[in-house]
Structure 1
Amino acid sequence: MIRTTAVRNLLVRGTSRHEARTCFLKAFSVECVRKKSSNTKGLFSRTNQSLQWEPRLARFYADYPTHIKVSLPALSPTMEEGTIISWAKKEGDKLNEGDLLAEIETDKATMAFETPEEGYLAKILIAAGTKGIPVGRLVCIIVEKQEDVGAFKDFKDDGAAIAPKAKAPSAPSAAATAAAAPPPPAAAPATAAPPQPISPADPTARVYASPMAKRLAEQRQIRLQGKGTGLFGSITSKDLGSLPAGAAAAAPSGKPGYAVPTGPIPGAGGAPSAFVDLPVSGMRATIAKRLLQSKQTIPHFYVSGHINVDKLLAARAIFNKSLEKDKIKISVNDLIIKASAFACMKVPEANSYWLDTVIRQHTSCDISVAVSTDKGLITPIVFEANRKGLVTISQEVKALAAKARAGKLQPAEYQGGTFTISNLGMFNTTNFSAIINPPQSCILAVGTSMKTLIPDNSPKGFTTANMMWVTLSADHRVVDGAVAAQWMQVFTAACTNPETMLL
């Protein structure tokens, strides 16, 4: 009995020691993994529409000192690609947090890219002037110590920081699926698909190409067509080969991935014709996407009318004469903005958003003014136009238009708006219909004012007046025909008798 008890105690003591040793080793391993994983963080996070940077210290790189990888951020909600206009710092320069690092052109404007962390600029990976840089691509390297700059002289991007949104064809064919598998390096030239030129029967066939291939083709004036050796048959820079600039005519026609016209392309009836392929800018792509969505998904209807603007032009002349000393000049567009804001307060249905589940009516009127630039159309906003005077509206519109044409608008200056005005009167356009800017419900198209004969009972039988043609485009999901007519009635009264806007 005593011997059995002693043996049992020895077994229990041994088991306890083994379990304690096992628990210690597990706890030690977990702590080591936790410390190692705490050294890697994301580069930045977005909170409340502002960029908050978190350094990613690459201590796990054995060949390089501690460094921070800086990727291209999304500087606007619709930005998918960007262009680095210029670098404000050179390799080796000291960086302080908040310093201007580079100027980046988004799909709408040119914006300042500030330094995320203090340190030294060790390596610039994307040269100034490079277009079509996807959001998330590595653009530069920052180190903590100046002596570590030289270690990154030959650093190359391994693609780890890139997170592109790859768009595969919706229904890839068997040939495209086969092309997705990477061929052996030696067999790549032999197995490359022959060029498939765009036939006249299918001029809209899409050609897939890598950003580098597109850039090279643009520089060398090469027309991309057919399939290459990339993913889903996309054309890569290797498919273009080492074709020198200006040697387009000598390009082999059997080379996959491009076709170079050697002379004028015959047009109708055999007559020679020529064309120029212009690259689609980020702003133009955004405009195309939004307006296509608007026209396809919003049930537009239009209400038009003639407005006698004799009193409006007379009031403008009086205002400008009284403001000559201040060098302020009120435009007809400023008066139209004020009259539109006045009408939106009287008929709030036109000052609304369609949000699928609710209709949001705004208590103030933020007028988006369409401004034409050399890159496309942009709509800076005059906020709370219903509460501002003509002088303030005039000054804001001039300042916003200048910034828009210089590409210096900030997102807060063109995102939003509750009602839009598109005025082509300065181009002597009589009338036109505009496309609604979602989620807004209305847009006003304004033509030029013209001297018009109006029949009356005078001895002459007619009189003359300055008449202006306007067209309101409305979203029928929010604004009914009678509501649009009421808005036009209030707007017409405000333009015909400007003093009613003071009531």
Structure 2
Amino acid sequence: MSKLPARGLPIRGIGQAATGTGIRSSSAFAAASTLQVIQPSRSASRLSPLFGSSPPKNEIPRQSAVVQGVRLFSSGSYPSHKRVNLPALSPTMEMGTVVSWQKKEGDQLSEGDLLCEIETDKATMGFETPEEGYLARIIIPEGTKDVPIGKLLCVIVENESDIAAFKEFKDDGAAAAPSPAKKPAPPTTPSPPQAAAPSPTPVPTQATPATSASGRVSATPFAKKIAQEKGLDLGSVQGSGPGGRILASDLEGAKKTGTVGPTVVQTGDEYTDVPLTNMRRTIAKRLTESKSTIPHYYLTSEIQIDSLLEIREKLNQMLAKGTADSATKLSINDFIIKASALACLRVPEANSFWMESFIRQNHHVDVSVAVSTPAGLITPIVFNAHAKGLATISREVQELATRARDGKLQPHEFQGGTFTVSNLGMFGRILETLKNIQ
């Protein structure tokens, strides 16, 4: 049984959000998914195509990168203009990063144009402009991190002649602007002057020979790897680790094929602080929640799959002869996905959500497949895997994995799975299923 992600939202609803059904979520999520626009003295009929007779107070957000609504305002002496706020592009999104602006100030905009790219807690998504006009003012520059939902991103005007009036426009509605990306990075933290003491290597007086009585050299795996790559003689190195074990830092000046190698110049930097992406931050948060709120147990079984391999070979031969499925090649993982989906139907407790006051047993099996990407782990979903054939599952997994690595997945494609499979077969002979940490 997995804990329901997305703060208790109905997972099936999340999967359907992209088709236009929408999700009723928190007030912040609902309010922030509506683009705010400004107009001084236009008639109410101008708003009717968007809201009808009167704008609703709680617009149900849609799972899309296109802003769904527009409101018109007047702002002092400024001409009529439209305020573009940051919407919630995923149910779990609280803040976003403006990765890049695809339009610059003064550019003419058409409905559906790509306005900017926003990195959410799950992926980087294109943000489209809702209607025609001119980009008068960019409020949040590209690279700005931790932009809260509802924050003013930019201003759009209808007439090109009104652009100049917004040259010095500022968002007077929120003085506490999000911290931009040029915020000083942690590497300059002045606190570690004390950390300089443990790392220097002037400990040779206490170092003991790394070679044991049996002639075996005691070294860390990383030190052995470096020595092998650089051709260093570990026998001539005295280790500073416990029991004289050779550490990677002990390899400076080690002999290289009988000669003393050049001394590595210290840069003075003892560590590197890598900035967190929104996805990495979310993965850490979800993993911590999963580990602290869900009971975990681990079971490992070895299975003889000789028969499965024979069937797989025969099916691949059949698919290779066909025309429509000529490019499909079944993997062992495809069989595991299908078998897991059928097992979930027979054991519905494993395909359930804990809803605090009740347990929800899902009648469909949407299998999330863990895919490693340069940005982090993501779990695209094979919906209704129990009802799909192996060839269909194989094609979908390949397509989803490719799009995941290219960063082109839509939120509904990786949020809302009921069961997760993570294939660790490349690390050994045993495949295991893991909890979904997304």
TM bracket (short chain)? 0.5 to 0.7
Q: How does 1:92-491 map to 2 (within 5 A)?
A: 92-158=106-172, 160-161=173-174, 211-212=179-180, 215-218=182-185, 221-223=187-189, 259=190, 265-267=196-198, 274-325=270-321, 326-428=326-428, 430=430, 434-437=434-437
Give distance in 2, aligned partners of 1:55 and 1:330. Answer: 51
Structure 2 unaligned segments of length 5 or more: list them. Answer: 1-40, 48-53, 203-248, 250-268
Deviation, structure 1 residue 163? 7.9
Distance 1:367 1:315, change over 3 A: same
Deviation, structure 1 residue 304? 2.6
Deviation, structure 1 residue 101? 1.4
Q: Over residues 389-428 of structure 1, what are the superposed CA-to-partner deviations in whole Å (9 max), with x where a residue is unaligned? A: 1111011101111111111111111111111101111233
Q: Is the 8 A contact 1:44 1:55 kept in 2?
A: no
Q: Is the 8 A contact 1:66 1:143 kept in 2?
A: yes
Match of 2:69 in 1: 53
Distance 1:163 1:153, change over 3 A: closer
Q: Is the 8 A contact 1:88 1:100 kept in 2?
A: yes
Deviation, structure 1 residue 46? 4.1
Give distance in 2, aligned partners of 1:267 and 1:42. Answer: 64
Give distance in 2, aligned partners of 1:265 and 1:429. Answer: 43
Give distance in 2, aligned partners of 1:134 and 1:390. Answer: 43
Q: Secondary structure at the match of 2:283?
A: helix
Match of 1:173 in 2: none
Deviation, structure 1 residue 269? 7.5
Match of 2:81 in 1: 67
Give distance in 2, aligned partners of 1:416 and 1:80. Answer: 18
Deviation, structure 1 residue 114? 1.5
Q: Secondary structure at the match of 1:305?
A: coil
Give distance in 2, aligned partners of 1:156 and 1:308. Answer: 67
Distance 1:61 1:394, change over 3 A: same
**TM-score (norm: length of structure 1):** 0.57
Q: Is the 8 A contact 1:365 1:384 kept in 2?
A: yes
Give distance in 2, aligned partners of 1:124 and 1:108. Answer: 24
Structure 1 unaligned segments of length 5 or more: list them. Answer: 1-34, 165-209, 224-258, 439-503
Deviation, structure 1 residue 375? 1.4
Deviation, structure 1 residue 222? 2.0
Q: Over residues 94-130 of structure 1, what are the superposed CA-to-partner deviations in whole Å (9 max), with x where a residue is unaligned? A: 2233332122111111212121333211112223333
The percentage of aligned residue pairs carrying the same residue is 52
Q: Is the 8 A contact 1:82 1:106 kept in 2?
A: yes
Q: Secondary structure at the match of 1:400?
A: helix
Q: Which protein has the larger Cα radius of gyration, Structure 1 or Structure 2?
A: 1
Q: CA RMSD in A?
A: 3.2
Distance 1:342 1:433, change over 3 A: closer
Match of 1:471 in 2: none
Greater shift after overlay, 125-134 or 262-271? 262-271
Q: Is the 8 A contact 1:349 1:361 kept in 2?
A: yes
Distance 1:217 1:370, change over 3 A: same
Give distance in 1, aligned partners of 2:432 and 2:386. Answer: 26
Distance 1:101 1:429, change over 3 A: farther
Distance 1:388 1:323, change over 3 A: same
Greater shift after overlay, 301-310 or 380-389? 301-310
Q: Is the 8 A contact 2:348 2:362 kept in 1?
A: yes
Deviation, structure 1 residue 370? 0.8
Deviation, structure 1 residue 75? 0.6
Deviation, structure 1 residue 372? 1.0
One-letter identity of the residue aligned with 2:424:
L
Give distance in 1, aligned partners of 2:338 and 2:362. Answer: 16
Q: Secondary structure at the match of 1:308?
A: coil
Greater RCO, CA 8 A, separation 6+: 2
Distance 1:417 1:403, change over 3 A: same
Deviation, structure 1 residue 337? 0.5
Deviation, structure 1 residue 433? 7.1
Q: Is the 8 A contact 1:97 1:115 kept in 2?
A: yes
Q: Over residues 227-262 of structure 1, what are the superposed CA-to-partner deviations in whole Å (9 max), with x where a residue is unaligned? A: xxxxxxxxxxxxxxxxxxxxxxxxxxxxxxxx2878
Greater shift after overlay, 385-394 or 292-301? 292-301
Q: Is the 8 A contact 2:116 2:126 kept in 1?
A: yes
Deviation, structure 1 residue 353? 1.3
Q: Secondary structure at the match of 1:107?
A: coil
**TM-score (norm: length of structure 2):** 0.65
- Larger strand proportion of the pair: 1
Q: Secondary structure at the match of 2:285?
A: helix
Q: Is the 8 A contact 2:420 2:433 kept in 1?
A: no
One-letter identity of the residue aligned with 1:55:
R
Give distance in 2, aligned partners of 1:42 and 1:384. Answer: 38
Q: Is the 8 A contact 1:302 1:433 kept in 2?
A: no
Distance 1:357 1:44, change over 3 A: closer
Q: Is the 8 A contact 2:100 2:118 kept in 1?
A: yes
Q: Secondary structure at the match of 2:165?
A: helix
Q: Is the 8 A contact 2:109 2:134 kept in 1?
A: yes
Give distance in 2, aligned partners of 1:406 and 1:149. Answer: 36
Deviation, structure 1 residue 264? 8.3
Q: Secondary structure at the match of 1:328?
A: coil
One-letter identity of the residue aligned with 1:222:
T
